Structure 1
């Protein structure tokens, strides 16, 4: 294994939650760019709007 590969593995072990977040974000973007149908995009737009409202409500309640 190269030094960079070892360093990457060590970072991922130390930052499991953030690494999982980055991986999920990457998969979501890839799906949208390469595979999503119009129906998928319409559903995702609704989900995004609902999530945005949830996050805005959390920010205003602080």
Structure 2
């Protein structure tokens, strides 16, 4: 069963895909950063997310 976090992440991914399809790389990057932050601080640990977040700026040191 999916919870609110999974729905939000799915929405953010769809937004990122939309901006990418429209050719707006800045908005695509912003949506992917938001998705990464959601995955980073969500209830489930996913290997490699912290490192990716640090590289993209979604993780503030």
More helix by share: 1
Larger Rg: 1
TM-score (ref. length: structure 1):
0.38
TM-score (ref. length: structure 2):
0.39
Higher relative contact order, chain-length normalized (CA < 8 Å, sep 6+): 2
